[in-house]
């Protein structure tokens, strides 16, 4: 297995699991520890991607969390990045405007701990570092540009609750705006692992330097017929053919107990179409199962629509109408390379993974603190 997510090689080697330490965590949000002790601690996760800026604020509840506020805005930060190599002034302005909203929400929510990350656009752009400096100056937010392995691991942590208990493995994919992460989760030795601990079952991962924005800019996203779509699929297939050259994953898929788990606007759009929603509803979409034939039918349905019809569809809209078929092409290339019979749709991912790890890290830290206090008390001599 080769190192990193190089599409010209095999999957990268097994990623380290979450061990409860602060590996990869930024320092606590500047307003840490403030707020009423009677109120549950609040955590926040922000994902500044190539296409979207998204924020979740939540309180820990049992083994999970309860969302108390959120924000999502399409900012197209990576617009023309693939051709120009830099973030444009207009794209950065859109992102800054969205981040100012996020900063206000974080301040009002009195968050105890947060992780704020940027992904492919800031990784790839020559002015990515300068942009994060500008973000700090104009919004007060410290944005961490995460590497692709961290992005893949967080996606697994966020989507873990949707993994089929009877599966021997899962091929998780996250189709982003500028990159697409693919993770093989081998569950044959999972024992009793669940939740974020399933990151320990990551067998291999890779990251493709292509997402819905870059692929649509390369081939066009407004007018997409069957020929353009086939060219998109072939483009991505060429990258995928250089992955898993020994066919280890392909053999595992052929045994039939591996399912796809997708997290992206592409698969949630397909689920919304499948359910016939008049208005997008996350509660109905998240966890939906689609079989091979149903996916074929849905992609054909999208290809039969013209641009205006896609804009008018309530599960697509103007913001995604020129990107959704590029996402479908990436999905189709993955399906052709590793033909799993079932796909589970996740309307969750990076942010949920960050929240779960923040909460778990906090719990472990408090547990260690309690143990230290008990140990110190035990060292006090008793009165004679």
330-339 pLDDT, tens digit per residue, is 999 999 999 9
Residue 7 lies in a domain: no
Tell me what pLDDT residue 378 has. Answer: 60
Q: pTM score, two decimals?
A: 0.82
Same domain, 133 and 154: no
Does pLDDT of 213 surpass 50?
yes
Between 190 and 18, the higher pLDDT residue: 190
CATH of the domain at 337: 3.30.420.150
Does pLDDT of 130 surpass 90?
yes
Tell me what pLDDT residue 30 has. Answer: 38
Same domain, 54 and 189: no
What is the enclosing helix (H) or strand (E) of 251? Answer: helix 248-254
List, in sequence order, every residue forming a beta bridge with 114; answer none if it has no partner: 44
* 98 vs 82: CA distance, rounded Å: 22
Same domain, 177 and 288: yes
Same domain, 265 and 247: yes
What is the 8-class DSSP label of residue 12?
B
Average pLDDT of the chain to the nearest whole number: 86
Nearest to 58 by CA among 365, 357, 330, 283: 357
The tokens of 128 are what? 């990515």
Same domain, 153 and 140: no
Q: Which of 61-65, 100-104, 137-141, 347-351 has the lowest mean pLDDT?
A: 61-65
Cα dihedral: 39, 104, 211, 9 (round 10):
-60
Nearest to 65 by CA among 83, 86, 41, 81: 41
Q: Three-state DSSP class for 23?
A: coil
Same domain, 82 and 168: no
Same domain, 143 and 153: no
**What percent of the chain is helix, strand and coil (3-state, nearest 5)?**
45, 20, 35
Tell me what pLDDT residue 191 has. Answer: 74
83-128 pLDDT, tens digit per residue, is 999 999 999 999 999 999 999 999 999 998 999 999 999 999 999 9
Tell me what pLDDT residue 33 has. Answer: 41
Same domain, 300 and 321: yes
Same domain, 197 and 318: yes
Residue 25 lies in a domain: no
Neighbouring residues of 166: CB distance < 8 A, sequence distance ≥ 6 = 257
319-332 pLDDT, tens digit per residue, is 999 999 999 999 99
b/e map 230-269, b = 16+ CB within 10 Å = eebbebbbebbeebbeeeebeebbeeebbbbbbbbbbbbb
* Band of residue 35 on the pLDDT scale cut at 50, 70, 90: very low
Examine the fold and report which residue of 80, 114, 147 is the final residue of a domain before the chain moves on. 147
Same domain, 97 and 199: no
Q: Hey, how many other C-beta atoms are within 10 angstroms of the C-beta on 41?
A: 19
- Phi and psi at residue 305, to the nearest 5°: -85, 145
Examine the fold and report which residue of 106, 121, 147 is the final residue of a domain before the chain moves on. 147
Domain extent at residue 87? 42-147
Say how many domains are in the chain.
2
Section 218-228 average pLDDT: 94
Same domain, 156 and 127: no
What is the 8-class DSSP label of residue 1?
-
Cβ proximity of 156 and 186 under 8 Å: no
Same domain, 177 and 232: yes
């Amino acid at each position: 297995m080769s190192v990193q997510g190089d599409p010209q090689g095999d999957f990268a080697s097994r990623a380290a699991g979450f061990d409860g330490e602060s590996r990869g965590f930024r320092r606590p949000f500047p307003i840490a520890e403030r707020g009423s002790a009677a109120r549950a601690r609040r955590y926040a996760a922000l994902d500044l991607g190539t296409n979207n800026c998204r924020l979740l604020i939540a309180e820990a509840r049992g083994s999970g969390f309860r969302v108390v506020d959120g924000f999502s805005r399409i900012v197209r930060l990576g617009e023309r990045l693939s051709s120009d190599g830099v973030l444009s002034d207009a794209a950065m302005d859109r992102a800054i405007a969205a981040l100012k909203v996020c900063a206000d929400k974080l301040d009002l929510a009195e968050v105890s701990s947060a992780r704020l990350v940027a992904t492919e656009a800031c990784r790839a752009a020559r002015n990515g570092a300068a942009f994060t400096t500008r973000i700090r100056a104009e919004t007060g937010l410290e944005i961490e540009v995460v590497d692709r392995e961290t992005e893949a691991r967080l996606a697994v942590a966020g989507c873990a609750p949707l993994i089929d208990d009877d599966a021997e493995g899962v091929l998780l994919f996250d189709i982003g705006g500028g990159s697409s992460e693919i993770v093989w989760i081998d569950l044959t030795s999972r024992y009793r692992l669940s939740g974020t601990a399933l990151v320990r079952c990551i067998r291999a991962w890779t990251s493709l330097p292509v997402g819905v924005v870059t692929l649509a800019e390369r081939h066009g996203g407004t007018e997409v017929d069957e020929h353009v779509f086939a060219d998109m699929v072939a483009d991505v297939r060429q990258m995928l053919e250089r992955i898993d050259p020994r066919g280890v994953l392909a053999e595992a898929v052929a045994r039939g107990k591996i399912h796809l788990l997708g997290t992206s606007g592409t698969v949630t759009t397909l689920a919304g179409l499948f359910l016939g929603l008049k208005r997008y509803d996350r509660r109905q979409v998240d966890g939906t199962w689609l079989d091979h034939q149903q996916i074929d039918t849905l992609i054909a349905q999208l290809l039969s629509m013209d641009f205006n019809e896609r804009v008018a569809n309530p599960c697509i809209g103007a913001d995604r109408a020129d990107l959704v078929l590029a996402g479908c092409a990436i999905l189709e290339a993955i399906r052709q390379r590793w033909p799993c019979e079932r796909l589970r749709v996740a309307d969750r991912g990076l942010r949920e993974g960050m929240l779960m790890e923040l909460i778990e890290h906090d719990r472990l830290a408090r547990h260690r603190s309690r143990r230290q206090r008990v140990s110190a008390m035990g060292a006090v001599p008793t009165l004679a």
